[in-house]
Structure 1
Amino acid sequence: MALNLARRLRTDSGAAVLLLSVTLFALLWANSPFSEAYTHLWEIPINVDIGDLAFDMDLHHWVNDGLMVVFFFVVGLEVRQELTIGSLRRRSQRLVPLVAGTAGVVVPALIYLAIAGGTAPHGWGAVVGTDTAFLLGVLALVGPAMSNQLKVFLLTLSVVDDFLAVTIIGVVYSEDVRITPLLVAGACLAALWLLGRMREWRSTPYLLVVVVLWGATVQAGIHPSIAGMLAGLLVPAALTQRSDVVRTKDLYRAYWQSPSAGVAREVHLGLSRSISVNQRLHEVLNTPVNVVVVPLFALANAGIDLRGGALGEALGSSITWGVVAGLVLGKLVGISLGTWAAVRAGLGTLPDGVGPGSVLGGAALCGIGFTVSLLVIDLAFDDEAQVQAATVGVLLSLVLASLVAWALFRLARVRWGEESADLPMALDPPVDTRHDHLRGDPEAPHTIVEYLDFECPFCMRATGMWRELQAELDGRVRYVVRHLPLDDVHPHARLAAVAAEAAARQGRFWEMHDVLFENQTALEAEDLRAYAASLGLDAEQFEADLADDALHARVADHAESARASGAQGTPTFFLDGVRHQGPHDAATLIAAIEALEAAEPDEAR
């Protein structure tokens, strides 16, 4: 029971339900006969003195200025991942969300100032941010059943949004800046940069520097959110290298042969070293942030007392409606127009499978400001009535933005036929035993298709799983491969694919397949000719086939079929014609096949 609940809370929808539940609880508590206990709880002083340094804050400020720095640190880690190995890595991928995200900050701020600028102009920062956790949770509830590509687009938008919002918080809402602690904070940032340049792979040095950085920014009078964001940006992210995985495999072999505490420790360290410190920290911190930090922040900030006519006053305040219009209308208009303008200007394209209706629905969801909005409200307003009005506006925006998004997603489905906002899931075209390369029994009831790249280290590691599948499933599965050379990162992969097809004309495809993977770092034309000779292929025919336009076209057809089937990277697997999502190790694929077999009798009935 507890395990199932924990798994549920780790999902996007589960995290959103938890956050909404905590928000409602805070409202009920603040408006109950026990409201004084709520108020006094967050006023509890917690004083920490280290020598001449004094960190004297109440519990509310420890949550907002202490715990929330972990939230913004995770945001910074995500931004660095996206810039290094994710959706902001390529210019064509980042310009559309960059323009849309910037417009999604500027337009809401202008709308707020137009409505509430005469009353409380300093509150404009409350409408610039988007709550990513709420956004993804509500998307899972009201969006298309399949929306992974839209999710990636919105996450990229939120990266831009969060970066700008945190910068605004750090610059606009910091007062009485003290120089000496600021210089210490600058030295901490330099130390983080040096740790990255030195390729320090242990996480402890980074965390120690981040703690000092937080203390320095608090002492300097700068809101620590910007320290958390900058720290996360400076923690290096990288793809796992083949050499690191091979080294870890050797360590496991040593442990298998001689299990001991010392070797076990070496295996543990080897595993950690193979994954970037950014990814490890993100993995460790992401769940506590979503399940503990953000809900605790909501508990501390969403509980406003609406009794005694306070709700009526809030609904009559220009601040409330400035926040509502800025978030609900401003985000929808700003992001939609920004996306349209960027695409029209040729700066990039929408992700495959994402239509204009889905963009509208996603833009509406970005009107859920919540976490960043409540944080800015705490910083921007001193008057209690203004705090109440702005907070009511944020809570109303949460409801209205969700309803508008639901209506737009429904309209996109009914009016424009946008049933999903994701890549295709079905294999196109289906397996044809006359043309596809096949291992195993041609009449086997189940088929695994892999799109591969001969220069991809992950494909090299996956290719050996066929033997495990064959041994475990005992003739119940056949294995097919198709080519998906990733030309932008693997310049030799396409010619290697043509070489495999040339070998196929002489009946030696699988032999060449295995040799190419065994020699991934040597795939020049001369290397390919040497491999052909070692396999006993006719040299003249092989040379002619390497230049044959028909074989180059065949590889191109495979790459086009990958695009039509929703395969964007390698390796991508299809099980019985449906794209497999998740891990692709042998045990996972075997379990997926067995699950298909277990479901067959029910379907037959």
Structure 2
Amino acid sequence: MPRVYPRLLEQFLQSEAKGGILLFLAALLAFILANTPWSSMYFALREVPAGVRLGTFDLEKPLLLWVNDLLMALFFLLVGLELKREVLSGELRDYRRAGLALAGALGGMAVPALLFLVVNPGLPEARGWGVPMATDIAFALGVLALVPRAPLGLKLFLTALAIVDDLGAVLVIALFYTGGLEPLPLGLAAFTLGVGLLLNRLGVWYIWPYMLLGLPLWYFVLKSGLHATLAGVLLALAIPLRRARPFQGATSAQDPEDLEGELEGLEEGVEGAQSPLHRLEHTLHPWVAYGVLPVFAFFNAGVALVGLEFGAVALGVALGLLLGKPLGILLMAWLALRLGLGTLPEGVDLKAILGVGFLAGIGFTMALFIAGLAFEGSLLDQAKVGVMAASVLAGLLGFTLVRASLDRALA
């Protein structure tokens, strides 16, 4: 593998770590505002109506829903791009190389859901079984980045685990957290996606036609009964992963002016050789990490503790994230190793895998998102408290276990 790829991966992981810190600060601010004399202003801000009106077309929503339905569609677009890249050309392309992460992710989704259902067997509480399945990759990588000398292989394992987890969350939302489907908007959404796939087949390498299609696709998905954010994942399917043109490297010029010209040509060659998917992913990432997710956290993490009871929903979410995630990941990873379906990363033992399992219990963004689809009112507040409490404890335990396992390996 060329040396540039590990450097790019490190830059990605570092940016995820910084995004996790900003996400935490936004959530902390929301939580503080919700429990101070300014709480009425905070909750009123979330309900401020905003809309678009063009002639007879009128679409109006509270700010909270614009954030959760439209802004988060950009987050899901980024998730879709990452999933497509990893499956077609990344860590998930080779099953044996990705076997450990795949097995761990499956265990980390199934066991938390089962634990939640054990605690909450009846409706409406049982609708929240999908909440503790999710991992927040920004927070999890942010905590792992704080561990001194954390091996690159362990970061890759956590990244692949979280990406498979995101795929599971997308499928859960699409299959179990949608309303009644409307045939006409659903057909128009399929037609719009088909146009995007056709542009891909015709070799359209510009990004802007796909983004223009994204607006009607989002609207039709919104009206179809599916959750509007799934439009982001669908749009990602149409973005080409093939390179626009072959990369042209530099020659061996000696004259400084010629060399400067070749360097400029090299930069243009690198940009032109990138696929539209890579270019869009790199463009979106800072906007999502430093804009979309902190705004989402600010609008969704505010929970007033006055009068709130830590009931069965909060307990089920907390147990699922704090115990179900690490146990499911460890058991399935151990089984994959025993069956020869995967190998441990270099310098990593099962204790480190258990530590990563706890880090995967930091659910936050996706867990709060699914909670908003599953519940409302007091049950939603319970789910939020369970997510936030478990995420903090899981992060502390994960950091401690990973660091202890690495210290022991170096002793």
Normalized against structure 2, the TM-score is what? 0.89
Give the letter for the 2:324 counterpart: G
> Do 1:97 and 1:153's aligned partners in 2 also have CA atoms closer than 8 Å?
yes
Q: Is contact 1:80–1:235 with CA below 8 Å preserved after alignment? A: no
Equivalent-residue separation in structure 1 for 2:46 and 2:13 (angstroms): 26
In the alignment, structure 1 residue 175 sits paired with structure 2 residue 169: no
* Aligned mates of 1:236, 1:369 — CA distance in 2: 30
CA distance in 2, matches of 1:419, 1:134: 26
Alpha-carbon distance between aligned partners in 1 of 2:128 and 2:296, rounded to the nearest angstrom: 20
Task: Find 1:391's aligned residue among 384, 391, 409.
Answer: 384
Q: Higher Cα Rg: structure 1 or 2?
A: 1
Structure-1 residue corresponding to 2:191: 187
Distance 2:366 2:155 in 1: 20
Distance 1:187 1:369, change over 3 A: same
- Does the C-alpha gap of structure 1 residues 206 and 149 become closer, same or farther in structure 2, counting only changes over 3 Å? same
Q: Distance in 2 between matches of 1:219 and 1:207?
A: 19
Amino acid at match of 1:405: G
Q: In the superposition, relative to structure 1, how do residues 290 and 306 fare at CA in structure 2: closer, same or farther (>3 Å)? A: same
Matches within 5 A, 1:322-337: 322-337=316-331
Q: Is the aligned partner of 1:418 residue 2:405?
A: no
User: Which residue does 1:57 correspond to in 2?
Assistant: 61
Offset of residue 338 of structure 1:
1.2
Per-residue deviation, 1:129: 0.9
- Aligned residue pairs, count: 395
Q: Is residue 121 from structure 1 mapped to residue 121 from structure 2 by the alignment?
A: no
Alignment-derived partner of residue 306 in structure 1: 305
Contact 2:16 2:289 in 1 (8 A): no
Aligned-residue sequence identity (percent) comes to 37
Contact 1:202/1:273 (CA < 8 Å) preserved in 2?
no
Separation (CA, whole Å) in 2 of partners of 1:52 and 1:237: 39
Q: Answer whether contact 2:144 2:150 (CA < 8 A) is retained.
A: no
Please name the residue that 2:335 is paired with: 341
Which residue, out of 211, 215, 222, partners 1:211? 215
2:355 is matched with which residue: 341, 350, 361? 361
Secondary structure of the equivalent of 1:367? coil
The residue that corresponds to 1:352 in the other structure is 346
Partner of 1:281: 280
**Alpha-carbon distance, 1:355 to partner:** 1.8
CA contact (8 A) 1:358 1:412 kept: yes
- Whether the 8 Å contact between 2:243 and 2:273 is mirrored in structure 1 is no
Deviation at 1:196, TM superposition (A): 2.4
SS at match of 2:190: helix
Instruction: Verify the 8 A CA contact 1:9 1:291 in the aligned structure 2.
Output: no
User: Are the structure 2 counterparts of residues 344 and 368 from structure 1 closer, same or farther at C-alpha, using a change threshold of 3 Å?
Assistant: same
Alignment of 1:500-539 (within 5 A): none
Alpha-carbon offset, residue 91 of structure 1: 2.1
1:244 partnered with 2:247 = yes
- Alignment-mate amino acid for residue 361 of structure 1: G
Residues 166 and 225, structure 1, Cα contact 8 Å, conserved in 2:
no
- Looking at structure 1, the residues matched to 267 and 59 of structure 2 have their Cα atoms a distance apart, in angstroms, of 37
Q: Residues of 1 paired with 2:266 and 2:220: CA distance? A: 37
1:12 Cα offset (Å)? 3.6
**Structure 1 residue 240 displacement after superposition:** 8.7
Secondary structure at the aligned position of 2:232 is classed as: helix
How far off is 1:376 after superposition? 1.1
The equivalent of 1:133 in structure 2 is 138
- Counterpart of 2:300, as a letter, is N
Secondary structure, counterpart of 1:48 in structure 2: strand
Change in Cα spacing, 1:234 to 1:342, as seen in structure 2 (3 Å) is farther
Distance 1:190 1:156, change over 3 A: same
Whose helix proportion is higher, 1 or 2? 2
Map of 1:474-553 to 2, 5 A cutoff?
none
Q: 1:8 to 1:360 in 2, by over 3 A?
A: closer
For residue 245 of structure 1, give the secondary structure of its aligned residue in structure 2: coil
Question: Which amino acid in 1 is paired with 2:330?
Answer: S
Aligned twin of 1:67: 71
- Superposition deviation, residue 352 in structure 1: 2.5
8 Å CA contact retained: 2:13, 2:141: no
Deviation string 1:273-305 (CA, Å, 9 cap, x unpaired) is 311111101111101101110000000000111
Q: Provide the residue aligned with 1:222 in structure 2.
A: 226
Would you say the 8 A contact 1:357–1:418 is kept in 2?
no
Residues 573-596 of structure 1 deviation map (CA, whole Å, 9 limit, x = unaligned): xxxxxxxxxxxxxxxxxxxxxxxx
SS of 1:23's partner is: helix
Q: Which amino acid aligns with 2:184?
A: T
Amino acid in structure 2 at the alignment position of 1:244: F
Amino acid in the other structure paired with 2:248? V
Assess, with a 3 A threshold, how the Cα gap between structure 1 residues 408 and 34 changes in structure 2: closer, same or farther: same
Sort the Cα spacing of 1:240 and 1:397 in 2 relative to 1 into closer, same or farther, 3 A. farther
Cα distance in 1 for residues equivalent to 2:46 and 2:101: 38
Q: How has the CA–CA distance of structure 1 residues 53 and 163 changed in structure 2, closer, same or farther, with 3 Å as cutoff?
A: farther
- Deviation of 1:44 (Å): 1.0
Specify the code of the residue in structure 2 equivalent to 1:351. Answer: P
**Cα pair 2:318 2:389 within 8 Å, conserved:** yes
Task: Give the Cα separation in 2 of the matches to 1:8 and 1:69.
Answer: 21
The equivalent position to 1:39 in structure 2, one of 39, 43, 47, is 43
Shift of residue 236 of structure 1? 2.6
CA displacement at 1:24 relative to structure 2? 0.9
SS at match of 1:224: coil
Question: Aligned partners of 1:287, 1:123: CA distance in 2, in Å?
Answer: 31
User: RMSD of the alignment, in Å?
Assistant: 2.8
Change (3 A) 1:194 1:270: farther
Task: Find the residue that maps to 1:49 and give its secondary structure.
Answer: strand
Q: Which runs of 5+ in 2 are unaligned?
A: 1-10
Return the letter of the residue paired with 2:282.
Answer: E
Asked if 2 retains the 8 angstrom alpha-carbon contact of 1:84 and 1:238, the reply is no
1:239 Cα deviation after fit: 6.7
SS in 1 for 2:18: helix
What aligned pairs does 1:10-159 form with structure 2 within 5 A after superposition? 11-50=15-54, 52-118=56-122, 120-141=125-146, 143-159=147-163
